[in-house]
Amino acid sequence: MLIKNCRMIIDGEEQFKDILVENEKIVSIEDDLSGVSSDEIIDAAGNYVISGVIDPHVHMRDPGMTHKEDFTTGSMACAKGGITTFFDMPNTVPNTITEEALLEKKRLHEGKSYVDYGFWFGGSKADNHDEVKKVQDKVIATKVFMNVSTGNMLVEDEKVLEDIFKNSKLVGVHAEGEMIPKAISLSEKLDVPVYLCHLSTKEDVQYVREAKKKGLKVYGEATPHHLFLNVSDVEKNPLLRMKPELKTKEDNEALWEGILDGTIDTIGTDHAPHRIEEKKAKLTFGIPGAENSLEMMLKAVRCDKISLEKLMKIMSETTAEIFGLKNKGKIAVGYDADLVIVDMTTEEIISQENVISKCGWTPYEGLKKGGKILTTIVRGNVVFKDGKFINKIGKEVI
């Protein structure tokens, strides 16, 4: 594959390049590769070409709740949103807390996804540390719910928490409020890196900032909804309920500061689809995110809140580094050709009518996109182009 006329940011400078892909990898990035013959030529037509987004935090609901989402529809939401790799959370039914459930999930999902994927393994209140230990080379990392959330996976017992941490290469936590310093201290005591999902307050960011100053292996994630939405939006749209809940405008700004000073490492969507009828009928925590994450984050690039280069770091490069994906996260020779072509001149509006996810709604209804995703490429295969889904090429990243 040869991708022509790519507008790229290289070392802070806008440049126009051609990208040559062979055997799924980028093999050359040059000013002009028009002399090279290739089976497939794509014209980026001067649009931005950016590194495919890695979303470390999605709930694909498969198995067990496939009326909300299944692996295929969830992966379509990703492809449409410029996400080329996602990591699926364990609060499916059954919970992914045994090796057996994990292997079954892997079998079930083979050949079902348009983009690449990995699996989180769940820590369980019944102390499944033997299982946790067994699967470490088959999963992204261990996920532990330290506060109540959708899915009944809360782990509270100190000894159980320690057992799970000790047997993990990295622990991702759903932790809110005082559970954040608790997770950081467990990580310090047991010398296991901790990844704090969906930071939502100024205080959360400060805990992570201080831990990093001490040199601890602590990583922070922010979601687009905690960056762009706050309590004033919930007043207008009662569907905007999730854990952690939306906070204040001041918290939005503290999260942005955390991104700019390096306290926050990654963007995860916490794509948590519940069908719109379910959301309307009863208080249900979780909102979708995969489809609009990059489109929303590009709004911040458009208004100079963040550079495109920095955005690619937190949505791709750093995520790959934290979770050990060696060939992903960068547009560079030798890396997987996971690429997204984006039109940054669009004035398009985000609308529920175009939602691909089975949930059937978007928290960003009516907002202007920061960019329009034209084409999504996974390892040199076009998976999404001009609104069409093309190839269920996705495979597991481990």
136 binds, among Zn ion, ligand DOR, none (CB under 5 to 8 A by kind): none
Q: Please, what is the minimum distance in Å from the beta carbon of residue 271 to Zn ion?
A: 8
Question: Which segment (109-117, 170-178, 208-216, 233-241) binds Zn ion by CB under 5 A?
Answer: 170-178
Q: Given the complex with ligand DOR, which of 95 and 252 has the nearer CB atom?
A: 95
Is 39 an annotated catalytic residue? no
Which tokens sit at 33?
A: 């590769």
Q: Given the complex with ligand DOR, which of 120 and 256 has the nearer CB atom?
A: 120
How far is the C-alpha of 7 from the C-alpha of 9, rounded, in Å? 7
Q: How many residues bind ligand DOR (CB under 6 A)?
A: 11
Scanning the structure block, which residue is given the tokens 């100024």?
A: 202
Binding residue for Zn ion, selected from 68, 109, 174, 392, defined by CB under 5 A: 174
Question: Which segment (109-117, 145-153, 322-330, 388-396) binds ligand DOR by CB under 6 A?
Answer: 145-153
Q: Please, what is the minimum distance in Å from the beta carbon of residue 197 to ligand DOR?
A: 7
**How many Cβ atoms are within 10 Å of 92's Cβ, its own excluded?**
22
**Straight-line distance from the first to the last Cα atom of the chain, in angstroms, rounded to the nearest whole number:** 25
Binding residue for ligand DOR, selected from 5, 38, 136, 150, defined by CB under 6 A: 150
270, 336, 338, 343: the catalytic one is 270
Question: Which segment (149-157, 161-169, 226-234, 289-297) binds ligand DOR by CB under 6 A?
Answer: 149-157
Which tokens sit at 278?
A: 């379910």
Q: Please, what is the minimum distance in Å from the beta carbon of residue 225 to ligand DOR?
A: 10
Q: Given the complex with ligand DOR, which of 17 and 68 has the nearer CB atom?
A: 68
Q: Given the complex with Zn ion, which of 17 and 174 has the nearer CB atom?
A: 174
Binding residue for ligand DOR, selected from 160, 272, 297, 383, defined by CB under 6 A: 272
Binding residue for ligand DOR, selected from 56, 122, 151, 371, defined by CB under 6 A: 151
Binding residue for Zn ion, selected from 270, 291, 295, 317, defined by CB under 5 A: 270
Q: Does 286 bind ligand DOR (CB under 6 A)?
A: yes
**Angle made by CA atoms 374, 376, 381, in degrees to the nearest 5:** 130
Q: Does 66 bind ligand DOR (CB under 6 A)?
A: no
Q: Does 274 bind Zn ion (CB under 5 A)?
A: no
Residue ranges binding Zn ion (CB under 5 A): 174, 270
Active site amino acids: 270
Residue ranges binding ligand DOR (CB under 6 A): 59, 91, 149-151, 174, 242-243, 272, 285-286
